[in-house]
Amino acid sequence: MNAEVTPWDVKGKVDYNKLMKEFGIQPFSELLENWNVDVEPMHLMRRGIIFGHRDYDRILEAMNGKKWAVMSGFMPSGLPHLGHKMTMDEIIWHQKAGGFAHVALADMEAHVVRGLSWEKLKEIGKLYLKSLIALGLNPDRAFLYYQSEFGKLKDLAFELSAEVNWSELKAIYGFTPETPLAKMFVTSVQAADILHPQLKDPKPVVVPVGADQDPHIRLTRDLASRVSIFAFEEIDSGVRVRSRRGSEYLRMLEKELSFEYRSYAEHIDVFGERRDIEEFIRKFEVEIGGFAFIPPSSTYHKFITGLTGGKMSSSKPESYISLFDEPSVAEKKVKRAITGGRGSAEEQRRLGGEPERCAVFELFAIHLIERDEDLEEIRRKCVEGEMLCGNCKKLASQLIGEFLKDFQEKVNSVELR
Ligand code: TRP
Ligand code: SF4
């Protein structure tokens, strides 16, 4: 069966290489080969769980002393589970690496897509905020908000929606004539989530998300350009600058330029260091009231397999572990999980297990094992048939129990401001 991936539905088995080819997502592995910043790549990057990106080079560049931000969001429509924890860990990792963190509680989206009341969304949203902090987010270097309570966000969403038309929405999201207007509008709200960190202060922003969110990212990157005045093209030893609002903006700009340039009717060629020129012009655009958005960067993680096989789904409690599950309940879920084990113990000793299709191994890789050497040891023992699934699950369930106990103690002591 061919996979179908939209932001609200993932069907079938996903071929990540195909996904990357089709949409122009870059493989993250290439970045790892030329990693030139002080922080170690996150474990999800090292382990190929974060498999792709757009423009992450920009973030790596900014990590060397510039201002940048990380931004992502959650629909507070059910208890936060290990899938959400993965994104939370990514936000926290980026914050520790120097980015200012922005987190949206997508209550507007959840209200139209899942039909939950505003009160319920507030209540569940609090659990997400507390979870983020308990997992290590520093609230002093973060901006956490509900979409519905953030006026400037809704203004920006409205502004962005002026640039989006029906055929575009239909092509990107597969909307039909029956789709409610509000469901269409929340796509602009999400674009506003992603772009608001740059209001008045354009900077690189990375959005860590699951692969299903890429349509939003593509639309947002496009909108970032469409609503900004100046457009940049790389040329030999500089940048060609065009205006999307008429040439009078070029004439205003050239009066201010502190670089060498050559002026034409419809563009200006500016010579010098590309990033410096763009930064200068963006500052100028903000001064004259423009947005000057930098297209956001993104990272993509793989979907995690449900414990019962197939997709992890909020509607199947057995398929996921919630951060608020009783440790003993979670331990039992792990013990019942689908593995990459063989039909019999004899067969498994002979052939070894298949960690690459094992939900328990995924738990180790994403959440439970910090050191790469330890993970590699589990993998080796599995494929060599040295360890059987029973013992392996025992270890996983013990680790998950310990993690939840510790996490829940922390969550209970978090005070929201
Ligand atoms: N749409 C996302 C989801 O389904 C949630 C979300 C809202 C989001 N705003 C965002 C994700 C901004 C990334 C960035 O879970
Ligand atoms: Fe999965 Fe562990 Fe069984 Fe290997 S031994 S298939 S990793 S549960």
Delineate the domains of the chain, giving CATH numbers in brackets: 4-227+295-301 (3.40.50.620), 230-287 (no CATH), 325-412 (1.10.240.10)
102, 143 Cβ separation under 8 angstroms: yes
Q: Indicate which residue's Cα is closest to atom 4 of ligand 2.
A: 382
The predicted structure's pLDDT at residue 285: 98
**To test ligand 2's pocket by mutation, which of 342, 347, 361, 387 has the most ligand atoms within 8 angstroms of CB?**
361
Average pLDDT score over the chain: 95
> How far apart, in whole angstroms, are the C-alpha atoms of residue 307 and residue 321?
8
For residue 209, the ligand 1 atom closest to its alpha carbon is 13
Query: Which pLDDT tens digit goes with each residue over 337-388?
Result: 999 999 999 999 999 999 999 999 999 999 999 999 999 999 999 999 999 9
Q: Report which bound ligand comes closest to the CA of 377.
A: 2
> How far apart, in whole angstroms, are the C-alpha atoms of residue 248 and residue 1?
54
pLDDT at 315 over 80: no
Match 């999980």 to its residue by tokens. Answer: 337
> How far apart, in whole angstroms, are the C-alpha atoms of residue 21 and residue 173?
19
> How far apart, in whole angstroms, are the C-alpha atoms of residue 16 and residue 33?
20
Question: Which residues does ligand 1 sit against, CB inside 6 Å?
Answer: 7, 71-75, 104, 106, 109, 190, 193-194, 207, 209, 213
Cα of 70 vs centre of ligand 1, distance in Å, is 13
> How far apart, in whole angstroms, are the C-alpha atoms of residue 49 and residue 41?
12
Q: Indicate which residue's Cα is closest to atom 11 of ligand 1.
A: 73
The predicted structure's pLDDT at residue 348: 96
91, 103 Cβ separation under 8 angstroms: yes
Residue 7: pLDDT band by 50, 70, 90 thresholds?
Answer: low
Query: Which pLDDT tens digit goes with each residue over 204-261?
Result: 999 999 999 999 999 999 999 999 999 999 999 999 999 999 999 999 999 999 999 9
Q: How many CB atoms lie within 10 A of CB 32?
A: 13
Q: Report which bound ligand comes closest to the CA of 194.
A: 1
**To test ligand 2's pocket by mutation, which of 344, 362, 382 has the most ligand atoms within 8 angstroms of CB?**
382
pTM of the entire structure? 0.95
For residue 71, the ligand 1 atom closest to its alpha carbon is 14
Cα of 298 vs centre of ligand 1, distance in Å, is 12
Q: Report which bound ligand comes closest to the CA of 187.
A: 1
Cα of 271 vs centre of ligand 2, distance in Å, is 58
What is the token pair recorded at 254? Answer: 């050239």
Say which residues have a Cβ less than 8 Å from residue 175's Cβ, sequence separation at least 6.
166, 169, 183, 184
In what side-by-side order are the strands of the sheet with 26-27? 26-27, 50-54, 297-301, 205-210, 69-74, 100-105, 142-146
Cα of 358 vs centre of ligand 2, distance in Å, is 6
Q: Report which bound ligand comes closest to the CA of 351.
A: 2
Cα of 321 vs centre of ligand 2, distance in Å, is 18
Q: Indicate which residue's Cα is closest to atom 14 of ligand 1.
A: 72
Q: Which of 211, 383, 218, 388 is nearest to 311 (CA)?
A: 211
3-state SS class at 351: helix
Q: Report which bound ligand comes closest to the CA of 340.
A: 2
Angle at 128 between CA 206 and CA 398, to 5 degrees: 100
The predicted structure's pLDDT at residue 2: 42
3-state SS class at 270: strand
> How far apart, in whole angstroms, are the C-alpha atoms of residue 176 and residue 197?
32
HSE toward the beta carbon, residue 244, CA cutoff 13 A: 15
Cα of 331 vs centre of ligand 2, distance in Å, is 16
Angle at 244 between CA 189 and CA 218, to 5 degrees: 40
Cα of 62 vs centre of ligand 1, distance in Å, is 24
pLDDT at 310 over 70: yes
The predicted structure's pLDDT at residue 119: 98
Question: Residue range 41-52: average pLDDT?
Answer: 97
> How far apart, in whole angstroms, are the C-alpha atoms of residue 362 and residue 323?
17
> How far apart, in whole angstroms, are the C-alpha atoms of residue 5 and residue 277?
38
Q: Which of 333, 315, 401, 310 is nearest to 78 (CA)?
A: 315
Contacts by 315-320, CB closer than 8 A, 24 or more apart: 320/81, 320/82, 320/83
In the chain, the percentage of residues whose pLDDT exceeds 70 is 97
The amino acid at residue 254 is E
The amino acid at residue 104 is A
pLDDT at 292 over 70: yes
> How far apart, in whole angstroms, are the C-alpha atoms of residue 164 and residue 192?
13
